Every structure is written in C-alpha cells, then in structure tokens.
Structure 1
Amino acid sequence: MTGACFILLSSQALAQSETAKTEFSNNYEAMGFPIAGQGAVPIGPLVPSLYGNPHLFGDWGGAQSWLKDRGIFLNIALNEEYMGNITGGRTRDNVLAGQVAAELDVDWQKLANVPGLWTHLLVINGHGRSFSHTLGDSVSNPEQIYGARGNVVAHLVAMYLDKSFLHDRIILSLGAIPTGTFFNFDALACSFMNVSVCGNFAPGKYTPGGRDWPSANIGAVLRVRPTERTYIMGGIFAVSPHAYNGGISGWALAQDGLGKLSSQVELGWTPAFGKDKLLGHYKIGMWYDNSRYPNLYEDRNGQSFLLSGLPQRKQSGTWSAWFMFNQMLMRNGDGIANGLIAIGGVGYAQGNVVAMRDHEWIGLLESGTPWNRPLDQIGVMFQNMNMSRSVRLQQESSLALGTPFLSNQWGDVYGVQKWERVYEAFYSVHLARATALQFDFQYLQHPGATTTFEDAAVIGGQFTTNF
C-alpha cells in the first residue's frame, strides 16, 4: 500500500527511462500488486511512490538497506531543465531552471509495529526563472519545473498519512495533499516536458479547488477497491483563497479564509487485455468547489463589468470534469511500461469563472527495447486547448476600451485568447542507474492562445537523477 509520494514522479520529471520501467514495477510490487509477466497485472489506482526505486549511488554504503529494514525510505532527486525558442514567441530567449527534492516515507508497521500506517513528507528547493514568461505563453507551459514554490530553502509539497484497511482494499489519507496527485493523475504524462498534462491536466489544476504539485490542500482522500480491477476515490479539501496554499513557503497551513471545500470523486478501471496482459488505466471524475468566484465577463446585470464599471457577478461554486486513459497497445518486455502505450484524455472546467474551457490530448510512448535500449523512451503528443467564451468577451471589452488585458489563472494575457495547440516529441536517454537525459522539441500554435506572437518552435532538455 502506498500514498502519492513522489520526487522524480510528480516533481515533473516522471517516467524518465528507469522511472518508467523499474520504478513503476517496484511501486506496484510494494503495493502488493504483482506485475505483468509474473502471472498478473497491477490493480487499484495509479498512485506512485519512489520507495524501492534505484539510486545513482546505489545502497549509500549500506545506509539505504539499514533504513529500509526499519521502514524508512529516503530519496533525494535532482532535475535540471534547459529550454529556448528558436523562432516565434514574445522574445527569443533560453532559460535554465531546476530543483532538488527530498522525500521521506515511513512504514510504521516495520518501524513501530503499527499495521497499515504510512507517513509521507516531500519538500523541494528550486532555482531559475520562467521560460513561459519570456515566451509569452503561460497557457501550455512548455517547461515543467519552474513555478509556484516560492523563494525558500524547503518548500512543502506534501505531508500526510495513509491508513489501510481490509488488506489495502480501503485506504484513508489525511493531511496536506496535492489534490492532483490522487485525482485526474496520469504518471506517464510526465514523460513529456510540457506541463499541461503532467501529471494531471489543465484547466483543473490551475484553480483553487484543484491545485496540484507543488501546492497542497488540507484534506482527506478515501480509496476503495471493490474489485481487483476497479477503484473509487473520494476526497474533501479545504480551499485557500490565497495565491499560494500554505503561503509562499507551503508551511503556513493554518491560513485564514479556509471555510470553503472542494469535493472530488473518481472512478477507475484497470483492464489487462490478451495473453500479453496489455495493461490499461481508464478514469472518469469531477470535482466541485463551493466557493464563490467572480464571473470573468458579467456584472450583476449580465453585461460587461469592464464597460459598465459595476462589480463582477459572483458565481456560487465551480466545477471541473475529466476522462483520462493510457493503454498498452503492444508489449515488448515484462515491465508495465515496457511497450507501445497510447495516452490521452479530455478535461473541462466551468468557463464563466475559469479562463480555459476544455483541453484534449493524445500521444504515444515507446520504450527502447525494440532497438536494444530498454531503458530509453520516445514519445509524441498533441494537445488542443480552448479558452472560454467568457474570458474572450472580457478581453474584447478591454480591446474596445483600450485598457490592458486582465491576467487570469494562466498568468499574463497578451491578446484576445481563443485556442492553442501543441505538438511535442522527445527522446530520453538512459545514462546511468536512475539517471536520464531527455531531448525535447515542441511546436506551439498561437502561443498564449492568441495571435499576438508568431508560432513558436521550442527546443529543450532535462537531466534527472535519483541519488
């Protein structure tokens, strides 16, 4: 049994070579779920952890084995990203950003003979600057690793406990939890550098009720597995009205204004098809936040608040819904990510208070086994993002008045926002144990979802390792 603990995974450097094969296999075995090639396939929700994963420096001179024997799993990971645009965008620039993350998982059954209890802590330290800002595109976010963590030594990402019941068929999690680590989460999506689908999707993760890594909401998640291949998850989280959950450091958990709640639910199915046990993950869900949010366009009379000068109409509650999947199409090894995998989904949000209405994506991933590089990985992805009618009407009002465009959940706005499309291809090279170097290319149509800047061609790469 495990919760959603992650360093390489949800520190936006997921599924790089060994992370996609060895680590996923280890995660499921640690959860008590046998892997494909051993007579069965993983079951239950895809909620990964790093414990049991390989380390660049091996056993740390015996220290790792000593800790694991006592139920203590310590991981330290590094992710460095470089990205630049060779054409298009707001400016021509290249940017380096990165982070160091530390994760501590404790199995209290081993440590203190408390059955079915785990605790998890994840903190990060980041550096660099935003490539999205210099490119003029905060809608698709071509980079993974920058943002939302504050200029602090150790930003709190997650701090919670798991308690399992009935042989892990029921798991209760309590604490400071990034909601998207449990809900609308696809670990394989973080193989791609564009963060709009890593590891959960926009628009949901850019709203207060659904914020994800590196921002946590105080709350609880209940996971139930009624059958071996199905699961149901429900969660309730306190919604912060502030720009940062827990303040700029993440540690100020007792913020004021936490009176509203976000309720989330997800249903999942994990089939395995044919004699090769072609594993799939299918999930559908939604969340509802009962906070009041300003309408992006209307005043209290239903007209443009910018033109009338009246206050924005307040909407009672907002929602987001999703369908997501990944499905192995062809197996070329025993690992659960060792083959050709299709990945995709669609997400919606309430467009009169959220600037992005819908988001669709489809892609393919393949391990390097067919060309004798089993720990390499290659992938292609297409994304389409449509902004909401309400935000477009707001921006047309700004244009008519000659006033600056208002920022929204996606940051600065440089024109009337309609849609954006992203084409991405990458190749990840296995360098050493738990270490990978990825090369990435992205082509962005309508950067920032506007026609203000020319289409952008972006090249980049990232280096990841788990010490």
Structure 2
Amino acid sequence: MTRHIHHARDQHGHHPFPHACRWLLAVGTMAVPAHRALAQAAPPVEHTVPSLVTSGSVSAMPSTGMTPEQQISLNLDAERLGPTPDAIRRPPNTPIPPSGVPTYPSAGLATMSVAPVSSPGDSKAFHKIELDAILTHHEGPSGLLPEWIDAQHDTDLEDPYYVPTAGSGHLVPQLNPLRRKLLDHGVSFAFTYKGEAMGVINGGVERGMSYVHELTAQVNFDLEKMAGITGWSVHTLVMERAGHAVSHDRVGEYYVNLQEVYGLSGNVVAHLVDFYAEKKLLDNHLDITFGRMALTHVFATSPLLCSFMVTCSAPVALKLDPGFSVYPKATWGSRIRMRPTRDTAIQLGAYSVSALADNPSGWSWGSETATGLMLPVEFTWQPFLTRNRLPGHYVLGYAHDTTRYPDQIGIGLPPALRTAAGHQRSAPMDMFWFEGDQMVYRRGGRNQMAGGYLMAGYIHNTPHVTSISDEAYGGLSFAGVIPSRVTDRLGIMYSWYHVSHRKEEGQILRYEAGYSLGTAVRAPQTDSHIIEAYYAIDAMPGILVQPEFEYMIRPGETRHIPNAALVGLKVIANL
C-alpha cells in the first residue's frame, strides 16, 4: 500500500527516519539545482537510492510532483520495498505450497503448538489461520518504530508469515491422495515417531546410554466441512512413550530432564493427551478452546523452545509446577485468545489443577482430585522488522495457582527440627515469565522458522512453595548455516536454574543435624547450569536427524557429582 505524502513528516515537521540518514536529505536537496541543469543536456536516467536494510540499491519512485526528500522517505519504507527475493526463495522439493501455508497438522509443528484447522467463521476475513486484529487499522508498540524498520505500519501481513514452521514432508507420500481426500471432507491427521538416545561420556554418576521414544497420533476435525458448523473444530491427540531416561540414574539430576521424551505417559499403549473443541467467532476476531488439553500447548512455549530437548515444551521452572499441566499431562480447561492490534496478542485461561501423577493414562478422568484453579494470562508483542519481515516474539506471562502448597522448608523435616525452622505456612503459587526471541535474518521462505533467531528468557516462581524458584536462559537458533542446507538448523542454549532458598534452608537444617536428605539429594542444593547444542538435519521428506550435545554443570544442584557431558541423537519421522 502506498503511503500518502504527508507521512514523510510527523506532526512537528520532523523527518521520521534515523539521524544517520539526514545526510541523504542534505545531499539530495543541494543536488536539485545541478540535476535540473544537467537534465536538459542528458537523457533521463533511473535514480537509485541507497537502502539501509539490504545491500545494493532500490529504484526510486517517479518524481512526479515529489521532492527528493519525499522520494528518499518512500524508499526507506520497509512495507513498500518488500522482501528481497533471496530471503523468501523456497528450498527445492519443499512440502510447503506456493501460498506458504502448509496443510495441518504438519510434522514440523511441535505437538503443543497446533495451529487451528477450522474456518475463520467469516468468508471475508483477511486471515484463514491467524486471527484478524480487533483494531484492524492500528498498531501497538510497533507504531513507535521508524518506517524503515516497521514492516506492518499500514497493513497486516498475510498468513504465511504466521506459520510457525516449514514442516518436513511425509515419509510415505503414497498416502497423500488419501490425505487430500480426507482434508476435503474436514479430516486431517499425522502420525509421528520421535526417538532419543542420550549417553553420558564423562562425569555424572555413571557412563552409559539411555533410549526413549514417543509415538503420536493426531487427528483434527473441521466441523464446517463435515457438518456445516461454521468456525468449529475438534482436536485429538493420543500418544505412547517408552524407554528409560538418562537424567536420574546416569547423571544424578532430578529437577531438569535432559531428554524431551520422558514420563507422564502412564506406561499405556494409548495415553490420551488432547480432546478439545475450538471456536473462531466474532468475524475471526476471537478464538476459544475448551476441553482436555495441556497448558503448555499455548502458554510459555514456542517451536523455537521445543527444538531443544531441555526446554520442550516449556521452561523447566514452569514444568515442575503441578498447576502448569505440562504435555503430555492434560487437564480440563479453557482459553480465550485475541489480537487487539496487528502486532499484539492476549490470551487468558482457566484450568483445573491436580497432581501430575493423577490419571497417568489420560483416560481415567474420575481419578483426578482437583486441588485448585490455574489462571494464566499472557501478552505478546510480535513485530515484523525491516523489508524481510523479521518476526520477533516478546512474551510477558503471569499465572496464579489457587492450590495451597506446603512451605518448602518443612518438607521432610523431622519433628525435632520444626522449632528451628520457625513459622511455616502454606500458600498459593504465582509464576512470572518473560520469553523473547527475534529473527535476525530470513532465509528459505516466508514462514516464521525460515531464518535465524536470538532468544532469551527469565522465569520466577513463588520461592516459598516451589523447588526451582528462578530460571534464566539465552541462546540462538539459526537455519541455513550451511548455504546448501537451507532447512537444517543449528541451536545453542545456556540455561541456569536456582533452587528455592526455602528448600535450601530446610535441607541445611537436616544436613547439619545429621539427617539424611534422601537417596536423590547428596547435599543442600543451590543451582545448576546446562549448555545444549544440536544440529537438526532435514535428511529427507519426513525424516529429521538431530545430533545432540549437553553439558551439565553441578548435576543434582550440588558440587558432589562431577559435571556431566552427554552426546546423543534425536530422530523424528512423520508418516
């Protein structure tokens, strides 16, 4: 969309682009008389203006009634320039259609980040996957950015930019005709194998290899195609997990799971995870889900975080809290999501809380004992920067769990030490989190995983009633590090975990009095650190091979276990 000329100046008459560009205006203004004199003796030529967001130059707009200053302003407009061809060129043999929007569910999608499959509920809606903004003609914080940075100043972006991942195709393409036929009738499905083998090569408790795997069957139903019920869909997911994780026996770590696939599956052939309905309403401005689901499907998660073993499907400090039902643990609940402006989103929910060990199969709903209500709310600022539409996700979240948990200082404390521990009280739990990531280059398409990200986050829980009170992480996730391997991805992340001071004080009391801290704890616990690195290889359609390296400093959150180095391999196969 072409911006009107008056946008070249703000209300105070100042130019809306960086001070570093003012010299362009000065040079352009002084060059006008000379340009007019030469124009009579030389044939017309196309003028070019240096671009601040890409190498080379871009063509200036025709000078029909425009001053050079106005031409420069328009050529520094990230929206008008559009992405560079190299940045959005799709890799060969990609499963993504030219529209940029894959068929759902896609193997590349983390199972806790499934995009809606229902229609938007309005045939005139701008988006078919993402929600339309409530204030469709306004931006939020992005409106404060210069025009040469903000790629969303005048209009919203099309759906492909909101697709979280490019997917990796299917291992059995012979099923594609069946997939298309079912999709035409409102049914989409995916069947995925995920296997992880990790071994301790140095330090820890003992050397050796451990293997775990997960089989996932996911089916989504578009009720508009099936029964003419506009805007409705139903999501189901069943999974099976087996194996023995490396963290406890070989590393001596009981808080942080060093493999993504672990526990909570009930050792059953078919563990029920998802069974919930979704409704898009108010002309595609509001999305509601309700039923049985995991909280980490939508809160405090992202495909970037879930490309790492340790932080999938959410940061560890949140996964340890019973109220934050972590995949594959599901609970009854509901969530509402909306986009107030083109660059912001708000979601809030209410979920039943029960112990993580309750209903291990996922089917025995009557065996769950509700202890309270989890009330999360999350605000996201999602800017798209420069002409290449580099997405960022800056998330602030808060959750309140009404369940009253015991004081950590008193857990396992002998009666003889209760006086020394002082006053103890139960309390509900509050959780705060900030998660930020920013794409710094685009390569391989228009979707949100086609490029490289820098990322960081911080989580804080009520220290009084939690084991891990603080977590901080930072890292990178870069696609196409090897130019000929555009869909491969390199990831490196550092994480720090701090044990609640109340838990540490209780352990110190027992330790100094000569009492045992249990078989899993060798001394009062303080903190630990983990470095994880991977290189994900898009080996062939439907197959992802990911070599892994992890180094844990202070396993067990003490200095009594040697730092552990682990290597391993993760394989994901999508039918």
Structure 2 CA distance, aligned partners of 1:67 and 1:55? 16
463, 470, 474: which one aligns with 1:358: 470
Structure 2 CA distance, aligned partners of 1:102 and 1:462? 19
Q: Is the CA contact 1:231–1:268 (under 8 Å) kept in the aligned structure 2?
A: yes
Encode CA deviations 1:29-76: one digit per residue, 9 max, x unaligned.
Answer: 861579xx99964789989699x9732112506211111111101110
- Give the strand-richer structure, 1 or 2: 1
Cα offset for 1:171?
0.7
Return the TM-score normalized by structure 2: 0.71
Structure 2 CA distance, aligned partners of 1:102 and 1:248? 18
Structure 2 CA distance, aligned partners of 1:315 and 1:455? 35
- The residue that corresponds to 1:185 in the other structure is 301
Encode CA deviations 1:79-119: one digit per residue, 9 max, x unaligned.
Answer: 01110111111221210110111001111111111111111
Q: 1:55 to 1:305 in 2, by over 3 A?
A: farther
- The residue that corresponds to 2:269 in the other structure is 153
Cα offset for 1:313?
3.6
- The residue that corresponds to 1:417 in the other structure is 525
Structure 2 CA distance, aligned partners of 1:372 and 1:208? 44
- The residue that corresponds to 2:509 in the other structure is 397
Indicate the SS of the match to 1:204. Answer: helix
- The residue that corresponds to 2:230 in the other structure is 115
Whichever residue aligns with residue 374 of structure 2, its letter is: S
Encode CA deviations 1:263-321: one digit per residue, 9 max, x unaligned.
Answer: 1100111100111111111110111111111101149xxx9866128999442311111
Encode CA deviations 1:239-270: one digit per residue, 9 max, x unaligned.
Answer: 11x3424x120112233531521111001111
- The residue that corresponds to 2:197 in the other structure is 82
Cα offset for 1:400?
2.0
* Ranges in structure 1 where 5+ consecutive residues have no aligned partner: 20-27
Structure 1 CA distance, aligned partners of 2:503 and 2:130? 47
- The residue that corresponds to 1:23 in the other structure is none
Whichever residue aligns with residue 230 of structure 1, its letter is: T
Structure 1 CA distance, aligned partners of 2:518 and 2:209? 27
- The residue that corresponds to 1:308 in the other structure is 418
Q: 1:163 to 1:406 in 2, by over 3 A?
A: farther
Indicate the SS of the match to 2:173. Answer: coil
Does structure 1 residue 71 correspond to structure 2 residue 186? yes
Does structure 1 residue 332 correspond to structure 2 residue 443? yes
Whichever residue aligns with residue 258 of structure 2, its letter is: P
Encode CA deviations 1:143-174: one digit per residue, 9 max, x unaligned.
Answer: 11121111101011111111111233211110
Whichever residue aligns with residue 105 of structure 1, its letter is: N
Q: Is the CA contact 1:173–1:222 (under 8 Å) kept in the aligned structure 2?
A: yes
Q: 1:307 to 1:150 in 2, by over 3 A?
A: same
Q: 1:437 to 1:413 in 2, by over 3 A?
A: same
Structure 1 CA distance, aligned partners of 2:329 and 2:346? 24
Q: Is the CA contact 1:5–1:49 (under 8 Å) kept in the aligned structure 2?
A: no
Does structure 1 residue 239 correspond to structure 2 residue 337? no
Structure 2 CA distance, aligned partners of 1:307 and 1:148? 34
Q: 1:339 to 1:29 in 2, by over 3 A?
A: farther
- The residue that corresponds to 2:89 in the other structure is none
Structure 2 CA distance, aligned partners of 1:75 and 1:202? 27
Q: Is the CA contact 2:130–2:162 (under 8 Å) kept in the aligned structure 1?
A: no
Q: Is the CA contact 1:444–1:457 (under 8 Å) kept in the aligned structure 2?
A: yes
Q: 1:417 to 1:329 in 2, by over 3 A?
A: same
Encode CA deviations 1:224-249: one digit per residue, 9 max, x unaligned.
Answer: 11112211111111111x3424x120
Whichever residue aligns with residue 349 of structure 1, its letter is: N
Whichever residue aligns with residue 331 of structure 1, its letter is: R
Indicate the SS of the match to 1:392. Answer: helix
Q: Is the CA contact 1:104–1:120 (under 8 Å) kept in the aligned structure 2?
A: yes
Structure 2 CA distance, aligned partners of 1:42 and 1:259? 43
Q: Is the CA contact 2:106–2:190 (under 8 Å) kept in the aligned structure 1?
A: no
Structure 2 CA distance, aligned partners of 1:219 and 1:45? 29
Structure 2 CA distance, aligned partners of 1:44 and 1:171? 19
Does structure 1 residue 252 correspond to structure 2 residue 364? yes
Q: Is the CA contact 1:41–1:279 (under 8 Å) kept in the aligned structure 2?
A: no
- Within 5 Å, give how 1:14-29 maps onto structure 2: none
Structure 1 vs Structure 2 CA RMSD: 3.3
Identify which range, 324-333 or 452-461, moves more after superposition: 324-333
Q: Is the CA contact 1:220–1:237 (under 8 Å) kept in the aligned structure 2?
A: yes
Whichever residue aligns with residue 522 of structure 2, its letter is: Y
432, 450, 454: which one aligns with 1:321: 432
Q: 1:143 to 1:359 in 2, by over 3 A?
A: same
Cα offset for 1:430?
1.2
Cα offset for 1:141?
1.7
- The residue that corresponds to 2:246 in the other structure is 131
- Within 5 Å, give how 1:25-44 maps onto structure 2: 31-32=129-130, 41=157
Q: Say which one has the larger Rg.
A: 2
Indicate the SS of the match to 1:187. Answer: coil
Structure 1 CA distance, aligned partners of 2:508 and 2:522? 12
Cα offset for 1:332?
2.3
Whichever residue aligns with residue 557 of structure 2, its letter is: A
Structure 2 CA distance, aligned partners of 1:211 and 1:254? 17
Cα offset for 1:366?
1.0
Cα offset for 1:406?
5.2
Structure 1 CA distance, aligned partners of 2:568 and 2:158? 33
Does structure 1 residue 269 correspond to structure 2 residue 381? yes
Structure 1 CA distance, aligned partners of 2:399 and 2:547? 35
Whichever residue aligns with residue 324 of structure 1, its letter is: E
- The residue that corresponds to 2:50 in the other structure is none
Does structure 1 residue 217 correspond to structure 2 residue 356? no
Cα offset for 1:402?
2.7
- The residue that corresponds to 2:549 in the other structure is 441
Does structure 1 residue 387 correspond to structure 2 residue 499? yes
Cα offset for 1:7?
6.7
- The residue that corresponds to 1:25 in the other structure is none
Q: 1:192 to 1:307 in 2, by over 3 A?
A: same
Whichever residue aligns with residue 340 of structure 2, its letter is: P
Whichever residue aligns with residue 333 of structure 2, its letter is: G
Identify which range, 448-457 or 312-321, moves more after superposition: 312-321
Whichever residue aligns with residue 308 of structure 1, its letter is: R
- The residue that corresponds to 2:395 in the other structure is 283
- The residue that corresponds to 1:343 in the other structure is 455
Q: Greater relative contact order (Cα 8 A, min sep 6): structure 1 or 2? A: 1
Return the TM-score normalized by structure 1: 0.86
Q: 1:306 to 1:184 in 2, by over 3 A?
A: farther
Structure 1 CA distance, aligned partners of 2:206 and 2:109? 31
Structure 2 CA distance, aligned partners of 1:118 and 1:243? 28
Structure 2 CA distance, aligned partners of 1:297 and 1:132? 25
Indicate the SS of the match to 2:204. Answer: coil
Identical residues among aligned pairs (%): 27
| Number of equivalences | 441
- The residue that corresponds to 2:480 in the other structure is 368
Indicate the SS of the match to 2:366. Answer: coil
Cα offset for 1:125?
0.7
Q: 1:305 to 1:148 in 2, by over 3 A?
A: farther
204, 208, 226: which one aligns with 2:322: 208
Q: 1:305 to 1:156 in 2, by over 3 A?
A: farther
